[in-house]
Amino acid sequence: MTVPFREARIELDAISDNVRHFRRLTGVQVIAVVKANAYGHGAAAVAVAALAGGATRLGVAEIPEALELRRQGITAPIVAWLHAPGERFDQAAAHDVEVGISSFDQLEAAGAVASVDRPVGVHLKFETGLSRNGIAPADWRRVLAEAARLERIGRLRIIGLFSHLSNTSPQDDREALAKFEEAVAAAASFGIHPEIRHIAATAAAIDLPEMRLDAVRIGIGIYGLSPFEDRSSAELGLRPAMTLRGAIAAVRRVPAGAGVSYGYDHRAPHDTTLVLVPLGYADGVPRHASGRLPVSIGGRRFTNVGRVAMDQFVVDVGDSPVSIGDEVVLFGDPTLGVPSAAEWANAASTIDYEIVTRIGPRVPRRSA
C-alpha cells in the first residue's frame, strides 16, 4: 500500500459513535459543533456523520461557516453565534441559519431582515461570567422586551436561550448556571419560552449533569478527544477520529556531530539514521515544540530532533531499518499504539483542541 505524502485520515464512524455516546450519556439533544472546519476534521463530512449519529443541530461560530455547509447540501438546523460588527443577517435569513444574539443591535438587525413569511430563528445568548459575547445583564430586560415583541408579531422564532461556561471549576460553572437561570426566568416573565436551553459544552456535559438542560453543545468530544488533563479519550468512552500521517521523504545516515535542521540546535550524539517527515509548521506542526514531538514509525516510538521547519521535520531512528515511503504516524488513536493529540499538546504546552484544529489546508483530509 502506498503511503500518502501527508494526510489527515478522518474516521467518520468514530464521529457518529461519539455523538451516540453523548446522546446516551446526557439523555438530551446534542448540538454538534463543527466550527473551524470541524476542528480541522472537515466540516461537511463531519456534519453528515454527526447527524447520522443523532445530533439534532449543528453549531458554528460564524455565518459564513453555516453558509458553506448549506452549499454542501446540509439542510439540518445550524446556529451561528459570533458575528462581524454591523452584520445584517440577510444571508442567514435567506438560508435558514439560526443566529445567536448578543446585543440589542444584533436583535434589531435580525428583526429588520425578517418577515412574517420568513421569521428569523434566534438563540438569545446571555453573559453569565465569561466576559465574552452575550447580552449584558444590564441590557437583559430591554432585549427581552423587544425579542418578545418581535416574536409576537411573527418576525422572530426564539428557538434557544444559551450561554457559555468557563470550565474553571464546578463552583464557577454553577455560579454561571445560576446567573443563566436568572436570565431564563427573566425571559419567561416576558412570555419567552424557548424550545431549548443550552449552556454545557463537552466538559460540563460529562461532569456536571445539572448543566445538560435541554441540549448540550459537543465540540471536542465528537472528535474523540478529552477536554480533561487527567482523563484520556478511552477512559471517557471516546474514539479519536483523526490520524495525522505522512511518508518518509528521505533517509540519511550521518556521523556523530552532524547538525540537524536550522540553527543546529541538535547534533547527532553518535552515528545514526535520520529520516525526513514532510510536514512542518505550514501544516500545523508546532515549531515551538521542536525536539519534543513523538511519532510512530514501523510500530516504534521516536521523537523529532532539531527545529521544525515550514515543510518538514527530522526524526532520529537510530539503527532501526527504515525506507523512503514508510509510514510515519504523528498522532492518532493511542489505543492503537501511536502518539495521541494529547501527547502532542503536552509537548507544545497547549491543548488537544489546538493540535487538531491547526492542521493546515495543505494536508488532505481523507474520510475513512
Looking at residue 2, its pLDDT comes to 85
Fold of 12-234: TIM Barrel (3.20.20)
Q: Does this chain's domain 12-234 share its CATH topology with 242-367?
A: no
Residues 6+ apart with CB under 8 A from 327: 3, 245, 246, 247, 248, 297, 298
Fold type of domain 242-367: Lyase, Ornithine Decarboxylase; Chain A, domain 1 (2.40.37)
Q: How far is CA 362 from CA 31, 64, 282, in A?
A: 29, 21, 8
Question: Is 35 among the residues known to form the active site?
Answer: yes
Query: Alpha-carbon distance 343 to 244, whole Å?
Result: 13
Q: Is the Cα torsion angle 168, 169, 173, 178 positive or negative in sign?
A: negative
Four-residue CA torsion sign, 216, 217, 222, 228? negative
165 vs 211: CA distance, rounded Å:
10
Closest by CA position to 248, among listed 281, 320, 288, 297: 297
For the stretch 78-104, pLDDT in tens is 999 999 999 999 999 999 999 999 999
Give the pLDDT of residue 1. Answer: 64
Quote the pLDDT of residue 105. 97
- 330-346: buried (b, 16+ CB within 10 Å) or exposed (e) per residue? bbbbbeeebbbbbbbbb
CB-count exposure of residue 226 (10 Å: 0-12, 13-18, 19+): buried
Cell numbers describing residue 328: 510515519
Q: Which residues of the chain have pLDDT under 70?
A: 1
If you count them, how many residues does the chain have?
A: 368
d(CA 144, CA 122): 12
Domain borders along the chain are 12-234, 242-367
At 121-155, the pLDDT tens digits run: 999 999 999 999 999 999 999 999 999 999 999 99
Q: For 62, which DSSP code?
A: S
Whether residue 337 contacts residue 234, with contact meaning beta carbons closer than 8 Å, is answered with no
Q: Which of 35, 125, 223, 353 is catalytic?
A: 35
Q: One of 125, 223, 262, 353 is an active-site residue; which one? A: 262
> For residues 80 and 92, is the Cβ–Cβ distance under 8 A?
yes
Tell me the chain's radius of gyration from C-alpha atoms. Answer: 24
Q: Let me know if 125 is a catalytic residue.
A: no
Helix extents (H) in the chain: 12-26, 35-39, 43-52, 63-71, 90-94, 104-113, 140-152, 170-189, 202-207, 341-348, 352-357
pLDDT at 368: 86
Q: 223 in helix, strand or coil?
A: helix
